[in-house]
């Protein structure tokens, strides 16, 4: 029957989480059987389609190029996914705000119970996913004929970007539902790496005391080539925008090094970073729960420790 | 304008969740329960719409065990007008809940469904999108701002790269993110008043919805624990460990 990966892209190229989703599709291919196809739905999306065709292991890139797919509106995209899903046993998308928005709508149109944010594939119909902010891991078996799945990108390696030569095939648009209209966007501009794919992340919590103080973390981030994140408490306090948020209700990250500064370690924050390879915690409260997950803990006033750290990094 | 707010009863966000020894799920007996935090934000926004004169009536709906009445009462104490409970002792999956909500929306009529973007138990983040799909309505997910203008609603969505603004035709389903508002605490007089507000109790059969689960939970286990770390004495020691022991910088 085959597996369809719904690509997340910006029309010109693929977004990184698509590569992790492709790895999950490759794992399924062994038991479920191929081929693995990729759907690129966008407007003037030839660049993204060409990038998808170069991915190793992809049999075919199905391209729906139409104005109504220009802004990933779920009302237009979900009917297309639902229609194409008939040709596949599995449809996978990254568990990003893109996949989370569109996939459940497509699942409802197909009368299928989606499996959200899988972290492990145990068979063609059996998957592991975190529940309760990652405080429990559930193994679930889907009884539906088509499996609609979102994939937690930190749980699967990124696939290579080059080496394949897939055929591309144009697919017809399912039309503009006429229900929604894109008015604009304000994307956070940053020269630093993206939070979810950065090798090093430095995050601040309520202990930072103000948005201005995040500049201290930014300077360290620039020395290490790191991304800057924040706890929900820091977002709630208005120090930084919500797209900095790491946690159960924000982004899930798993960098090689995660530095938590002035973060107490609420359950909901740990859910978003506890799979990081090395965790450093800097907090003046020795009892803070963050120290229970930290590989290296420093009990210190961050307003002394962070400038010292900046200096030590040279 | 009529606003319908679905709410879910979950383990209180401050409780440390424990997995049952027989691996069938998490322990919920004698555990403090509360309204899902995102649902509180949805109720608050509906109440603000009513205070601003945009909404005439707020209906709080929950699907689940009989005790979900308590969660509905919390919504009524915050300012909603009446409640509907779809009572089911079977654990309900997002698709089943979306079908039940669709039936309630069709029965009650609603211009806006305002709900949480996810529940902190299953962490599925599906129900609102599914409901919108089943109704054929537009969806505004993960919103941090909303403004109703005539027959449209303008929403600001929290997306991975920042913010996105959409215009949706009403009726619509909106799922709320945490920065939309700060939910109020119910006052004692309002808690007393809420006890007199009506709650209709229905069953999935009354609504003609099949809620048979599509997923079988084979087991629920605790995640592997992290190895205990070390406390370092100074920034210099920390940097040394990161360079020479962990080799990550």
Residues A230-264 have pLDDT tens digits of: 999 999 999 999 999 999 889 999 999 999 999 99
Average pLDDT over residues A136-149: 98
Q: Is A135 close to B117, i.e. CB distance below 8 A?
A: no
Give the minimum alpha-carbon distance from A56 to chain B in angstroms, rounded to a whole number: 26
Average pLDDT over residues B171-190: 95
Give residue A238's pLDDT.
93
Average pLDDT over residues A146-151: 98
The full 3-state SS of B199-229, as one line of letters, equals EEEECCCCCCCCCCCCEEEEEEECCCCCCCC
Residue from the list A242, A248, A294 with its beta carbon closest to the beta carbon of B120 = A248
The whole-chain average pLDDT of chain B stands at 96
Give pLDDT tens digits for A171-222: 999 999 999 999 999 988 888 998 988 999 999 999 999 999 999 999 999 9
Whether the pLDDT of residue A89 is over 90: the answer is yes
Residue from the list A134, A200, A243 with its beta carbon closest to the beta carbon of B158 = A243
Give residue A277's pLDDT.
95
Whether the pLDDT of residue A293 is over 90: the answer is yes
Q: Which residues pair with A63 in a beta bridge?
A: A40, A170
- A150 neighbors A103 (Cβ within 8 angstroms): yes
CB contacts of A107 in chain B (<8 Å) are 95, 126, 130, 133
Long-range contacts of A271-275, Cβ-Cβ distance < 8 Å, separation of 24 or more: A271/A130, A271/A133, A271/A134, A271/A135, A271/A247, A272/A245, A272/A246, A272/A247, A272/A248, A273/A201, A273/A203, A273/A229, A273/A246, A273/A247, A274/A134, A274/B223, A274/B226, A275/A154, A275/A155
Token digits for A100?
A: 């989370």
Q: Is B226 close to A179, i.e. CB distance below 8 A?
A: no
Give residue A168's pLDDT.
97
Residue from the list B120, B165, B230 with its beta carbon closest to the beta carbon of A133 = B120
Residue from the list B164, B178, B231 with its beta carbon closest to the beta carbon of A236 = B178
Average pLDDT over residues A124-146: 97
CB contacts of A123 in chain B (<8 Å) are none
Work out the end-to-end distance of chain A between its first and last CA atoms, rounded to an integer number of angstroms: 56
ipTM of predicted assembly, 2 dp: 0.96
Helix (H) or strand (E) holding B146: strand B139-149
Give the minimum alpha-carbon distance from A243 to chain B in angstroms, rounded to a whole number: 6
Give residue A106's pLDDT.
98
CB contacts of A138 in chain B (<8 Å) are 217, 219-220
Average pLDDT over residues B186-190: 96
* Chain A residue closest in CA terms to B166: A182
SS3 A7: coil
Average pLDDT over residues B47-74: 98
Give pLDDT tens digits for B111-138: 999 999 999 999 999 999 999 999 999 9
Cα–Cα distance list, A37 to A27, A88, A112, A170, A194 (Å): 14, 9, 20, 13, 27
Instruction: Determine contact: B16 vs chain A, CB below 8 A.
Output: yes
Whether the pLDDT of residue A67 is over 90: the answer is yes
Give residue A152's pLDDT.
96
- Among residues of chain A, what percentage have pLDDT more than 90? 93
Give contacts of B 161-220 with A, CB under 8 A: 161-169, 172, 177-179, 213-220
Cα–Cα distance list, B130 to A63, A73, A92, A179, B106 (Å): 25, 15, 17, 16, 15
| Count of pairs with CB atoms under 8 A, one residue in A, one in B | 260
Give residue A32's pLDDT.
86
Instruction: Determine contact: B40 vs chain A, CB below 8 A.
Output: no
Give contacts of B 53-112 with A, CB under 8 A: 93-95, 98
Q: Which residues pair with B175 in a beta bridge?
A: B115
What DSSP character marks residue A225? Answer: T
Give residue A49's pLDDT.
98
Cα–Cα distance list, A193 to A101, A225, A263, B120, B225 (Å): 24, 7, 21, 29, 29
- A260 neighbors A203 (Cβ within 8 angstroms): yes
The packing angle between helices A97-110 and A74-85, to 10°, is 60
d(Cα A94, Cα A79) in Å, to the nearest integer? 18
Cβ contacts of B227 within 8 Å, gap of 6 or more: A295
SS3 A82: helix
The whole-chain average pLDDT of chain A stands at 96
Q: Is A143 close to B214, i.e. CB distance below 8 A?
A: yes
Q: Which residues pair with A202 in a beta bridge?
A: A228, A259
Average pLDDT over residues B51-79: 98
Average pLDDT over residues A300-310: 97
Whether the pLDDT of residue B151 is over 90: the answer is yes
- Among residues of chain A, what percentage have pLDDT more than 70? 100
* Chain A residue closest in CA terms to B229: A295
Cβ contacts of A254 within 8 Å, gap of 6 or more: A154, A155, A273, A275, A276, A277
* Chain A residue closest in CA terms to B92: A113
Whether the pLDDT of residue B211 is over 90: the answer is yes
Give residue A34's pLDDT.
84
Whether the pLDDT of residue B76 is over 90: the answer is yes
- For every residue of A250-301, DSSP letters joined together read SB----SEEEEES----HHHHHHHTT-SEEEEEES-TT-GGGGT-SEEEES-
Q: Is B220 close to A138, i.e. CB distance below 8 A?
A: yes
Q: Is A74 close to B222, i.e. CB distance below 8 A?
A: no
CA-only gyration radius of chain B, Å: 21
Q: Which among B113, B78, B87 is positioned nearest to B194, based on CA atoms?
A: B78
Give residue A149's pLDDT.
98
- A160 neighbors A104 (Cβ within 8 angstroms): no
Whether the pLDDT of residue B189 is over 90: the answer is yes
Whether the pLDDT of residue A128 is over 90: the answer is yes
Give the minimum alpha-carbon distance from A250 to chain B in angstroms, rounded to a whole number: 9
CB contacts of B215 in chain A (<8 Å) are 113, 115, 140-143
Q: Indicate which of A15, A79, A100 best probes the interface with B, i.e. most B CBs within 10 Å of its own CB.
A: A100
Q: Indicate which of A152, A179, A196, A314 best probes the interface with B, i.e. most B CBs within 10 Å of its own CB.
A: A179
Give residue A201's pLDDT.
98
Q: Is B238 close to A296, i.e. CB distance below 8 A?
A: yes
């Amino acid at each position: 029957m085959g597996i369809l990966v719904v690509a997340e892209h910006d029309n010109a190229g693929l977004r990184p989480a698509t590569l992790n989703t492709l790895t999950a599709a490759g794992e399924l291919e062994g038991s479920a059987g191929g081929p693995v196809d990729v759907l690129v739905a966008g407007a003037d999306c030839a660049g993204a389609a060409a990038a998808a065709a170069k991915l190793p292991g992809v049999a075919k890139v199905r391209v729906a190029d139409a104005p109504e797919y220009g802004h990933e509106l779920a009302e237009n995209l979900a009917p297309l996914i639902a229609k194409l899903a008939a040709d596949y046993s599995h449809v996978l998308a990254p568990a990003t705000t893109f996949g989370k928005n569109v996939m459940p709508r497509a699942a409802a149109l197909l009368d299928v119970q989606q499996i959200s944010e899988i972290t492990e594939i145990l068979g063609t119909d059996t998957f592991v996913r975190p529940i309760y902010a990652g405080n429990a891991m559930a193994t679930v078996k889907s009884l539906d004929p088509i499996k609609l799945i979102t994939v937690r990108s930190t749980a699967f390696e990124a696939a290579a970007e080059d080496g394949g030569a897939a055929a591309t095939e144009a697919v017809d648009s399912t039309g503009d539902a006429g229900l929604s209209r894109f008015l604009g966007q304000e994307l956070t501009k940053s020269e630093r790496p993206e939070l979810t794919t950065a090798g090093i992340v430095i995050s601040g919590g309520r202990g930072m005391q103000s948005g201005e103080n995040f500049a201290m973390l930014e300077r360290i981030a620039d020395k290490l080539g790191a991304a800057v994140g924040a706890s929900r408490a820091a977002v709630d306090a208005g120090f930084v925008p919500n797209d900095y948020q790491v946690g159960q209700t924000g982004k899930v990250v798993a960098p090689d090094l995660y530095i938590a500064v002035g973060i107490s370690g609420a359950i909901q924050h740990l859910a978003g970073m506890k799979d990081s390879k090395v965790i450093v915690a800097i907090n003046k409260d020795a009892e803070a729960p963050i120290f229970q997950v930290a590989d290296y803990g420093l009990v210190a006033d961050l307003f002394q420790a962070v400038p010292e750290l900046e200096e030590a990094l040279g | 304008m009529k606003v319908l707010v679905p709410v879910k009863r979950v383990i209180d966000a401050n409780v440390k969740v424990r997995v049952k020894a027989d691996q069938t799920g998490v322990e919920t007996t004698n555990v403090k329960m509360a309204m899902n935090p995102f649902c509180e934000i949805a109720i608050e926004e509906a109440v603000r719409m009513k205070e601003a004169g945009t909404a005439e009536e707020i209906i709080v709906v929950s699907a689940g065990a009989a005790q979900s009445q308590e969660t509905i009462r919390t919504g009524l104490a915050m300012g909603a007008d009446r409640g509907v409970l779809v009572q089911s002792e079977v654990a309900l999956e997002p698709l089943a809940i979306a079908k039940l909500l669709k039936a309630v929306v069709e029965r009650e009529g609603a211009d806006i469904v305002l709900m949480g973007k996810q529940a902190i138990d299953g962490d599925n983040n599906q129900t609102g999108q599914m409901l919108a799909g089943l109704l054929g309505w537009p969806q505004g997910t993960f919103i941090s701002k909303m403004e109703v203008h005539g027959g449209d609603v303008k929403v600001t969505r929290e997306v991975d790269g920042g913010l996105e603004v959409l215009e949706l035709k009403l009726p619509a389903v909106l799922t709320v993110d945490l920065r939309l508002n700060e939910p109020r605490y119910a006052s004692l007089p309002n808690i007393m008043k809420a006890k007199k507000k009506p709650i209709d109790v229905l069953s999935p059969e009354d609504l003609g919805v099949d809620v048979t689960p599509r997923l079988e939970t084979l087991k629920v286990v605790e995640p592997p624990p992290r190895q205990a770390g070390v406390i370092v004495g100074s920034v210099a020691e920390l940097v040394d460990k990161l360079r020479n022991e962990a080799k990550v910088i």
